Amino acid sequence: MNRSAEDARPTFRFLRPEVLAKIASLELLARTVVEGFLAGLHRSPHIGFSMDFVEYRPYMPGDDLRYLDWKVLARTDRAYIKRFRGDTNTRLHVLLDVSASMTYRLPPAIEKREYACYLAASLAYLATRQNDAVGLITFDRGIVDYLPARWRPGQLHRVLGALERMKPGGASAISEALRRIAERLRRRGLVVLLSDLYEPLETLGSALRLLRAQGQDLIVFQILDESEVAFPFTETARFVDVETGEDVPVAPDALRASYREAVRRHLDEIERFCRAHGIGYQRMFTTQPLDEALFAYLGRRARWS
């Protein structure tokens, strides 16, 4: 039987968001996601990205003992660390939108903010596993929390702690927040933006261009609830804006076609803009397993190897 390239993509277990929501510990959640993902990756034809073995180097105090070659140590009484094609000390900053619009969900899906939190934790865990510096910035119309990227011990716990303390923010102003963030990011690195991107492209695009002009390598994950695109509602109801509290009576049948077209146009414009400006782009729905996002991240990170 012939299989398409899409069929040949590796599949992973235990990554569905509704399963992750049952895990109380964010660190355990991130470990479950990443270790399961990497195990599936190594069983697939897609081995690589940043996990290929390259060479040995002498052990240095503070090195991760998981990469110590115990067989070589037993034979030679010398300690060597296995180096992988990802040991380039990439500096990763995760930018997480915590504005009120990110609290939206249509059950049984989880909140966009919750989904973004799971992804941020998984990226932080994966970066730490690859000996990368990792930092976290949460924002709404400005910076809410700022944790600079560091390689120091305990950094992963600091990032996960900040994510666990995260609370819903206020109204969003993504471009304004990104400009303030750009002032903080003095050194080049890999910047991952997690947001629903509800802002006109005219202002959003200028802020993204600013980050690229600084030399940042940028990947955007647009986090959406499927209902925001499909608009599956059928009964007349009052819809409430989660950021302003304003409620509007809506007759879905009369609005559906124009709404879907407006959303499609906005999403397409953002995706085209990102492709045209060398920005990685991945649209993620809150019902999707996280492996697609991790796959996209590793592909982008490989450029730094």
The per-residue pLDDT for range 219-270, each reduced to its tens digit, is 999 999 999 999 999 988 778 777 877 888 888 899 999 999 999 999 999 9
Residue 12 lies in a domain: no
Give the model's confidence band at 184: pLDDT under 50 very low, under 70 low, under 90 confident, else very high.
Answer: very high
pLDDT of residue 236: 85
Q: Are residues 70 and 214 in the same domain?
A: no
4 falls within a domain: no
pLDDT the model gives residue 89: 67
| Residues 102 and 80 both lie in one domain | no
207 domain-assigned: yes
Q: What is the pLDDT of residue 205?
A: 97
Neighbours of 275 (CB within 10 A): 11
66 and 207 part of one domain = no
Domain of residue 67 covers: 53-84
Judgement on whether residues 293 and 165 belong to the same structural domain of the protein: yes
Can you read off the two tokens belonging to residue 197? 């991107």
**Residue 64 sits in the same domain as residue 171:** no
Same domain, 150 and 295: yes
Same-domain status, 60 and 137: no
Question: Please, what sign has the CA dihedral across residues 154, 49, 116, 204?
Answer: positive
The answer to the question of residue 249 being in a domain is yes
8 within a domain of the structure (yes/no): no
Domain assignment present for 16: no
pLDDT digits (tens, 9 = 90+) for 271-303: 999 999 999 999 999 999 998 899 889 888 766
State how far the Cα of 284 lies from the Cα of 305, in Å rounded to an integer. 26
Of the candidates 11, 9, 17, 65, the residue with the CA atom closest to the CA atom of residue 226: 17
Per-position DSSP letters for 36-66, written without gaps between them? HHHHHHHTSTT--TT--EEEEEE--TT--GG
Do 180 and 58 share a domain, yes or no? Answer: no
More confidently predicted of 291 and 191: 191
Q: Measured between alpha carbons, how far is 227 from 109 in angstroms, rounded to an integer?
A: 10
Does residue 46 have a pLDDT over 60?
Answer: no
Same domain, 197 and 72: no
Tell me the three state secondary structure of residue 193.
Answer: strand
Q: Is residue 123 located within the same domain as residue 229?
A: yes
Confidence band, pLDDT 50/70/90 cuts, at residue 55: low
- pTM of the model as a whole: 0.82
pLDDT at 43: 55
**96 lies in the same domain as 140:** yes
CATH number of the domain encompassing residue 221: 3.40.50.410
Number of domains in the chain: 2
* 277 CB-near residues (< 8 Å, 6+ apart): 205, 208, 209, 212
pLDDT at 244: 78
Q: Is residue 299 part of a domain?
A: yes
* Residue 179 shares a structural domain with residue 275: yes
On whether residue 141 sits in a domain, the answer given is yes
- For residue 75, pLDDT over 80 is answered with no
Mean pLDDT, all residues of the chain: 86
Query: Could you read off the pLDDT of 148-170 as tens digits, one per residue?
Result: 999 888 999 999 999 999 998 99
Residue 86 has pLDDT above 70, yes or no: no
Which one-letter DSSP state was computed for residue 78?
Answer: -
